[in-house]
Structure 1
Amino acid sequence: MTAIRVAILTVSDTASQDAAADRSGPTIKEILNMNPAFSCEDTNCHIVPDDTTAIKKVVEGWCLLHKVDLVITTGGTGFGQRDVTPEAIAPLLHREASGLVHLLLSMSLKHTPLAALSRPVAGTILNTIVITLPGSVKAVKENMEALLSGGVIQHAVELTRGGSGKQVHEKLAASDASNKPQEQQQKEPSKHQHYAHHHHHSHEAPKPRSHDPSAPASARHRKSPYPLISLQEALDHIKQNISPLPTYTLAVNHTLRGHVLAEDVYAPHDAPPTATTSVDGYALRSTDKPGVYPVLTSRNHSISTILPEGCIYRINTGGPLPAGTDTVIMVEDTRLVSTFKDADVADGEEKEVETMVQVPAGENVRAPGSDAKTGDLVLQKGERILSSGGEIGTLAFVGRKEVKVYRKPVVAILSTGNEIVDLHRPAPQPNDGWGGIFDTNRPSLRATLEGLGYDVIDLGIVPDDIDPHVTTIKKGLDNADILLTTGGTSMGPTDLLKPVIERHFNGTIHFGRVTVKPGKPTTFATIPTSEDISKPVFALPGNPASALVMFHIFVVPALRRLGGWPEEFCNLPRVSVQLQSPMPLDTRTEFHRVIIRAGINGLKAFSTGGQRSSRVASLSGANGFVVLPPKAGDSPSRLEEGTIVQAVVIGEIQML
């Protein structure tokens, strides 16, 4: 977790007159500076008198602009007539934290019964935690000890930043388990035996279910040890075992596209800061009658100087109005009367212009703050920065030069199989004339990934041997956030991915078979790469159509979750479409590749033809997958033309 930004406010009539009298504020800062988890800059240390307005102004400034994660005040929490800190802070809180108040009082009451006369308040203002402490140095030290003990504040800040607090909760669970009788622990298996989280915690590696790849072919499994699970169960496994990547700060420019905001963005000032014009024309007074007026410009008149009576000021769209004016007349409502002459006696600058109408006050004027006022929430944490430009434009509009975002995942891809040949580096043909199969998956997946805005590391083609698998997977884990493989997921003796993941990397296979068509052997795993982090691995089928369909159904949601996308946007959108041809049903959920076209009567789905899993041409031109439900019992064997069904949208919808 990045350093917790702290602001300290001392509330004291005396200290506001003489900063040297403030001992509590420096004490808090000294305590925090001894802990590397906190950051407290001098610019975020203030002193105000015992005045509710002054207290509110400083605290609101810190919180509404989200300049800090934690505000600690000291002083003004007692029973004195000038003790007004609780009255200033309490109305500002969006959520109260009564537990923190109890913690502070409990600690102080251990030392003196007079602590019962303290009136602390605590809670959150937007995403900032606010805690009020007494004014005495002794009480401050006692209260700070309580807040820092056991990581109370660190955990609270993590939660307000949008974190899950998973590590803290699991440590508590582990502590509880260690205090239980051994017999009871054996009866209550840990959830770690079933699920490996993106935040990996040290525990016994799961027992491999895959065959030993070093054993002969006769020793392989004849039936898959991985249960068939439903589409929804598979999606749930992905959601449960992948968490967003860390955040970082980027400059506000075109490269922000595709990222997700990791902070709320507030307007730091009014926009526009002063009255500006929304048209090209002339600024003047609403009392000015139609007539002929001398023209002033920025060359001969400062906007901070009141415009002389009987003059107008030429102004372009977006420009500020000069002092003394309250309206703007459009160019179209004026007539040029005369110009200045230059040395060549040619027409030059405008000298006089006739206004044809009288313009009411505020006409064609954008008032200060009419687009955004200071402290307005202009973009929310979790909003996607789209390539359409609106979000980047908004950030630039309010003057944000940089912003905190979730890191986009880097993706490593590889293909497996002795039979796979690189299109541009084909291997020599063997004597039997077999030349291999051109690798379709890497180029198609890379094109899709880069089209979605992800950086890709191409690890090439890996032969069906254990050592190359181990070496290449390790390289992918070292350099990427997620690994995509194709091939090697079925029941062949040389299908090595599941065994290598389990036996050489202590990985957890969360699912190895799904009741979908195409893509039944699709595999999702996580591999621990350090004490705290596990990285996701998707082993997609080798058949090209299967690999691409499963990429859109399973990998895209994982990539979005890693990149901090809100949960409701992680899966690709679904729309209702009308079938334009009959479609047979399978016992599995089937994704039938289609072209979705929009007409006056809604969306229509046209099949791309044969749907064989190896027929990558079925995806050529496809912009969606019709989701065909599994056939069950006495249900029809196919859906007829005209049936309304759901379709996953993977590309731009065409027009009929």
Structure 2
Amino acid sequence: MTAIKIGVITVSDTASVDAAADRSGPTIQEIVRKRGHGCVRSIILPDDEQRIRETVKNWCSESAVDWIISTGGTGFGVRDRTPEAISPLLEREAPGIIHLLLSESLKHTPLAALSRPVAGTIGNTLIVTLPGSVKAVKENLEALFSNGFIEHAIDLIRGGTGKQVHATMGSGHGGEPHHHHHHHHDHRVPQPRSILSHDPSLPVHARHRISPYPQIPLDHALKMIVNEIKPLGVVSLPVTSALAGHILGEDVYAPQNIPLSKTTSVDGYALRSSDPPGVYKVLTSKTHALADVLPDGSIFRINTGGPLPAGTDTVIMVEDTELVSTVKEADGQDAEEQEVKTLVQVPPGENIREPGSDVHKGDLALQKGEVLTSLGGEVGTLAFVGRKEVRLHRKPVVAILSTGNELLDLQSPNPLPFDGWGGIWDTNRPSLQAALKGMGYNVVDLGIVVDDIDAHVKAIKLGLENADLLLTTGGTSMGSSDLLKPVVERQFGGTIHFGRVSMKPGKPTTFASIPTTKGEHERKFMFALPGNPASALVTFYIFVIPALRKLGGWREDKCHLPRVRVKLEDTMRLDPRVEFHRVIVKAGEEGLRAMSTGGQRSSRVASLSGANGLVQLPTKREGGPDRLEVGSYADAVIIGELQM
């Protein structure tokens, strides 16, 4: 049978605030993937009965998954409401599965009797609730996967006869589980069970008139991205300026004291603290070895950071001395200091950096997970402690393409065969490449792809082979020639995680994953951004940057661009969707102020020229205001350097 598409719901008040606290959800995803199946949806919800119920209903109505597994909220705690949320939705209950889960858990602990599992079907989707502990999750899934049980159940729910499973179980293999065989011997392009996109081989009149993809809330889309994407691996790279933007994959400790010996913090002369003011002979590194004790009546000229010679314990600054005599060149010109008069007696340890005063051997210099910024401090620290190489998360390579027969490449325009119309300059590739390269990402330019299935397949294959993330613009809406979703689902067996987001601009933004053998993970991700230039850039900053950062090993709480509170200098109209208004944010004595860049039409890329922020406007609600007035406050995503 084909791989099972699974959705995982973690129910936890704690994990809904801090995703790092979720241990059971990732455990489920790992187990099902090892069994040859795919986790295509995942979400963390608080112990909120209504939200749990709405999520299950939406996933089932979209036919997005074959099997929903929830973890958490099944006990007798005050907030445990998962059974109450799901039970009313079930069309056919599955008491046998409940018995299986309880009997398995009771083998390990009598406390399992306090669990209240629920199981059954809604349409063609199986729902099973598991406890919240990792241990219980592992035990329950082991029971469900035993002897191909769950594959048999899903096959029947899909409308199959179960003959394949019965034949396998009766073929003399002694009842060993055979779930791996269903997956690994099928070398055809994997096909998702639910293909929502239109069939591009059908006539134009047969295309969808209403998008089959649910319009999901912005916060759900953002959570889905960081939950689905896993960081790339760790590699060793030489310590150079090229490390900017990488994430440390190891703790960096100082291998020795810095400074290694006593050094000076000023330009001056090393001497003994017992030496009184007077005239002294000047020695230098050319006339005296550091290991030899400094002779009486001499001082040693030293520059900031230089080591002290043996026998000295203090440093007098140049400003506290006077030149007495010099050594002359053959032509009579002054060549070198010969004698200097010290004007003060310097106490011991003056102007000296002790060994290890900057860093002690074994000190933690930089912590795993830190960003090596382009400001230089982190790369400088690596050099300071003498690291020639360091282990880092690999930065993702991005493949980028634009779609549309109407597009012209600015640098190599080919005339279009349309009478009386010259086409449109491809704005998105240059603008997105500028943003990506400015952030230090390597970009594979796949060019302009015409509205043809074979051309789309060829370009996407090339992107999968040469990059870690695919970024496309155009071809995401309802036109008959909008091919990206159909190609991803039908030609690549990919999964559309979301195909519409309740936001403005950028409603048709699409986030998808495609199975692949060409990378570190079993799938690669793709963003299909809208074709309108302003929409493409806004959605790039809101969705793609968090994805790139997650791939690059950034902590989840650092994946999104920073947000600040700003005071509006212009009136901004509200929309039923969340809107990102392009602004110029300036810092002044009264704090941060945001000025609109003018018309916000999605095709007007000039609205982003000079913009360094995106004000996130709240949704317009029935009976509420239809605008934010001048002087109102709102949150803004910072996409560039603040102005003064």
2:599 to 573, 598, 610: 610
Question: Could you tell me which of 473, 478, 483 is aligned with 2:470?
Answer: 483
Q: Distance in 2 between matches of 1:289 and 1:261?
A: 52
Give 3-state SS (helix, strand or coil) of 1:179's partner: helix
SS in 1 for 2:202: coil
Aligned to 1:494: 481
Correspondence for 2:610: 621
Of 620, 631, 642, which residue of structure 2 is paired with 1:642? 631
CA contact (8 A) 2:406 2:416 kept: no
Q: Do residues 294 (structure 1) and 281 (structure 2) align?
A: yes
Question: Which of 418, 424, 431 is the equivalent residue of 1:437?
Answer: 424
Contact 1:412/1:482 (8 A) holds in 2: yes
Give 1:469 shift: 0.5
Distance 1:308 1:589, change over 3 A: same
Provide the residue aligned with 2:587 in structure 1: 598
Cα shift at 1:174: 6.3
Query: In structure 2, which of residues 557, 571, 578 is the aligned counterpart of residue 582 of structure 1?
Result: 571
- Of residues 144, 162, 166, the one that matches 1:177 is 144
Is 1:558 the equivalent of 2:525? no
- Partners in 2 of 1:169 and 1:604 — Cα distance? 52
How many angstroms does 1:176 deviate by? 4.3
1:560 aligned partner, one-letter code:
R
Task: Report the secondary structure of 2:361's partner residue.
Answer: coil
Match among 443, 450, 459 for residue 446 of structure 2? 459
2:351 is the counterpart of 1:384: no
Q: How far 1:189 sits from its partner (Å)?
A: 12
Structure 1 partner of 2:335: 348
Structure 2 unaligned regions, length at least 5 = 1-134, 158-182
> Match for residue 652 of structure 1?
641
Give the conservation status (yes or no) of the 8 Å contact 2:145–2:151: no
Identity rate of aligned residues, in percent? 64
What's the counterpart of residue 206 of structure 1? Answer: 192
- Give 2:293's aligned amino acid: I
Separation (CA, whole Å) in 1 of partners of 2:638 and 2:136? 38
Which deviates further from its counterpart, 594-603 or 212-221? 212-221
2:204 is equivalent to residue 217 of structure 1 = yes
CA shift in 2, pair 1:169/1:223, >3 Å: farther
In structure 2, the residue matched to 1:360 is: 347
Q: 1:183 to 1:176 in 2, by over 3 A?
A: closer
Contact (CA 8 Å) 2:191, 2:492: kept in 1 or not?
A: no
Q: Deviations for 1:340-363, whole angstroms, at most 9, x for unmatched residues?
A: 233333323211111101111111
Give the Cα–Cα distance (whole angstroms) in 1 for the partners of residues 257 and 147 of structure 2.
59
For the residue of structure 2 that corresponds to 1:646, the secondary structure is: strand
Match of 2:153 among 181, 186, 203: 186
Find the aligned partners of 2:326 and 2:411 in 1 and give their Cα distance.
70
Given that 1:245 and 1:562 are in contact with CA atoms closer than 8 Å, whether structure 2 keeps it comes out as yes
Secondary structure of residue in 2 paired with 1:351? strand
Shift of 1:510: 0.6
- Give the letter for the 2:374 counterpart: S
Superposition deviation, residue 632 in structure 1: 1.5
1:408 alignment partner in structure 2: 395
Q: Who is 1:258 aligned against?
A: 245
Partner Cα distance (2:383, 2:137) in 1: 41
Shift of 1:171: 9.4
Matched, 1:533 2:522: yes
Secondary structure, counterpart of 2:422 in structure 1: coil
CA distance in 2, matches of 1:602, 1:188: 61
C-alpha separation in 2, matches of 1:429 and 1:455: 31
Distance in 2 of aligned mates of 1:431 and 1:628: 40
Q: How many residues align?
A: 479
Cα 1:555–1:530 shift into 2, 3 Å: same
AA paired with 1:179?
S
**In structure 2, what is the Cα distance between the partners aligned to 1:236 and 1:539?**
18
Write the distance in 2 (CA, Å) between the matches of 1:448 and 1:647.
19
1:397 is aligned with what amino acid?
A: F
In structure 1, how many angstroms separate the alpha carbons of the residues matched to 2:611 and 2:540?
14
Is the 1:427–1:435 Cα contact (8 Å) retained in structure 2? no
What does residue 53 of structure 2 align with? none
Cα distance in 1 for partners of 2:328, 2:150 equals: 103
Amino acid at match of 2:465: D
Instruction: Say if 1:438 and 1:181 are closer, same or farther in 2 by CA, change over 3 A.
Output: closer
Q: Letter of the aligned partner of 1:368 in structure 2? A: P
Q: 1:100-131 CA deviation, whole Å, 9 max, x = no partner?
A: xxxxxxxxxxxxxxxxxxxxxxxxxxxxxxxx
Q: Partner residue of 1:274?
A: 261
Deviation for aligned residue 1:312? 0.9
Q: Deviations over 1:422-468 (max 9, x none)?
A: 22332324362122111111111111111111111111111111110
Q: CA deviation at 1:205?
A: 4.1
Change (3 A) 1:188 1:575: farther
1:569 correspondence with 2:558: yes
Distance in 2 separating the partners of 1:173 and 1:302: 74
**TM-score normalised per structure 2:** 0.71
Deviations 1:68-89 (A, max 9, x none): xxxxxxxxxxxxxxxxxxxxxx
CA contact 2:144–2:150 (8 Å) conserved in 1? no
1:386-440 deviations in Å (ceiling 9; x for gaps) = 1111111111111111111111111111111111122233232436212211111
